[in-house]
Chain A
Amino acid sequence: MSAQPLKKIGERSWGITIFAFLYLAFLYAPMLVLPVFSFADQKVIDFPIKGFTTHWYEEMFAKPEMHKALWNSIQVGVIASLTATLFGLLAAKAITRYAIPGKSIAMGLISLPLFIPEILLGLALLIILNVAGVTLSLLTIAAGHVLLCTPFSMAVLVARLDGFDKSLEEASLDLGESGWMTFWRVTFPLIMPAVVSSLLLTFIVSFDEFLLAFFLQGTEQTLPLYIWSGLRFPSNFPPTLALGSIILVVSIVLVVFAEWLRQAGTGGGKMKVGV
């Protein structure tokens, strides 16, 4: 490769810079509507904004149903993220460490729920659960979420295990350690950041998910279901915006943190050899 210096974006290409900003605005500006109106002192979503208030937040926090839904969502999210990360870890280990026939087919099948319309997935699961006579509950929602979350977990962990110097695991075996203990003494500590990243990511996927939860819900609601049901009453609308704003901020923070962890964790396994 020739050693031509990379052209700095922005030096000469104003066009592309403007395009990038427009693109980002197009993607994210609509989301700003939520926080903006959640602080607006008015019941109707309309410009011009009449004044600033934190009243909607107070109203929202005062609702016991909201607390219940939040707690339900956390429970579902924790179960789904733990289970999906465990499955994702097993899948990633199998894919990166063993020569299994039909490896890419297996990977494809695990990723499939991402590409099937969720409404069909939800419907199909609902039919199966009905036929099997399973009572719908938070657990059935969590089970549905595992299906959606496992591909995310697998992707994060495959990337980490692939960029991992395999001679580290061989060195542990060579020093007398068993395969299982090698995993706990060497592999797991080194992929820990990716595991945490996977937990956060899958938690958020579950926490924000609506359609599957809608199909698989029993008597208890998760937070997105609570928001949906609240929208039927106009008086509930501003507090719902407040709740949506909080979820938005928390989601962004968690995803950014998960991504930071994932990137920070890729350095560990491979060492530069030099003096």
Chain B
Amino acid sequence: MSDMNSGDYIRIEHVTKRFGSFHAVDDAHFSIRPGEFFSLLGPSGCGKTTLLRMIAGFEFPTEGEIYIDGQPVTGVPANKRPTNMVFQSYAIFPHLDVYDNVAYGLRKAKLPKAELDRRVKEALGMIRMDGFENRRADQMSGGQRQRVALARALVNRPKVLLLDEPLGALDKKLREQMQFELRMLQQQVGITFIFVTHDQEEALSLSDRIAVMQKGKVLQIASPRELYESPNCREVADFIGTMNFMPGVVKSIEPKVAVVEVEGLGLINSPLPEDYSFAAVGSEVLIGARPEKLDVVRGAPHPGEKGVKGTIGACAYLGDRNHYQVTIEGRAAPLQVATEQGDRSTLASFSPGEHVTVSWGDNSMVLLPKS
């Protein structure tokens, strides 16, 4: 965000899209940087695809403006925009072979034959599909079709590549491999990617920045780390990973820290987020804690940390970690705690009914508006 010159390669200015009285996208307002891998993340129906289709030129905003590379494109149709799209269904033309699919846009651009041939071959090489020129869509696997769709879009050298859940139809193993390839490809071509997904792990592992959307609204735009470590509201925290939510009351605001009283846990010091206008002294807030930011110990909490006594309820063995539900006296909801599975001697180190201490440091907690 520091680089203001290049910070607004794509500008979405107060864009709203209504279908009848339904707000598909509600006042989206943000910028995307050149060369950025930017994701629109949210549950189905959150408006992410509608927003992508407005950037592509398949839908047009009811209100607001869209700029690409400084040019207003709000009313420009898809065939006149410097964007190309990879469709969820890939949309490989079934009556054309791989070569003609990839050459489709170049033929429209009336490229000289030799140049066209060179560019198509180059694009096929980039996605390691050389030798597949004469295959048709029904003679390819899902992963291959996906790569052809990528080549068909990238061969036109768009300013922005739009990807509409392109990995959704692939099985898990292939999806992970394609995620890796996508990221490599993006670094190789250096084009801005806008990626729509409902899969938070996918968004976290691929993106430079993510816009989390819900019910047509953009809730937060931040790097994966920022989103995970400092979500700005309950919805974001809930959508990305799991989190314990604990209602509390602000007792005082110290420099950099809010002191919040939480039922059953006493006074909790939570780092202040950038915008803490919601946290006036005496107001109700939420304290959030990721399960892995808490720990379960026998006896006293870790040195320098705070703790509270509790009883192990359910536990689950998850291979690389253990998941516990710890019941705290004076709290209705048990705390979710995830402990790392260290060396093999600590296997299933706590059992249900055991009296333990939940331990946390000051940086474990996140201060959130009551919502």
Contact = CB atoms under 8 A, between A and B. Distances in A.
A178 B80 CA distance: 9
A101 interface: no
How many interface residues does chain A have, given as a range? 20 to 34
B95 A190 contact: yes
A274 interface: yes
A9 interface: no
Interface of B: 56-58, 77-80, 83-85, 87-95, 104-105, 108-109, 137-138, 141-143, 145, 152-153, 156, 169-171, 174
B141 A167 contact: no
Contacts of A1: none
A219 to B, nearest CB: 46
Given A165-B91, A189-B95, A271-B92, A174 B84 contact: yes
A168 B84 contact: no
A28 B174 CA distance: 55
A273 B142 contact: yes
B141 A175 contact: no
Interface string A96-130: 00000000000000000000000000000000000
B79 A174 contact: yes
Contacts of A163: none
Contacts of B152: 171, 175
Contact of B174 (A173, A175, A275): A275
A186 B96 CA distance: 9
A65 interface: no
**What 7 A-B pairs are tightest by C-beta distance, nearest first?**
A175-B105, A171-B91, A167-B91, A273-B169, A173-B78, A275-B141, A167-B87
Q: Which of A165, A172, A275 has the most CB of B within 10 A?
A: A275
B78 A170 contact: yes
A173 B57 CA distance: 9
A176 B77 CA distance: 10
B105 to A, nearest CB: 4
Contacts of B104: 172, 175, 177, 185
Nearest to B138: A271
Contacts of B78: 170, 173-174
A274 B142 contact: yes
A159 interface: no
A175 B188 CA distance: 21
Contact of B93 (A168, A173, A181): A168
A177 B79 contact: yes
Given A271-B138, A275-B141, A176 B91 contact: no
A275 B156 CA distance: 27
A229 B194 CA distance: 72
Nearest to A190: B95
Contacts of A172: 93, 104
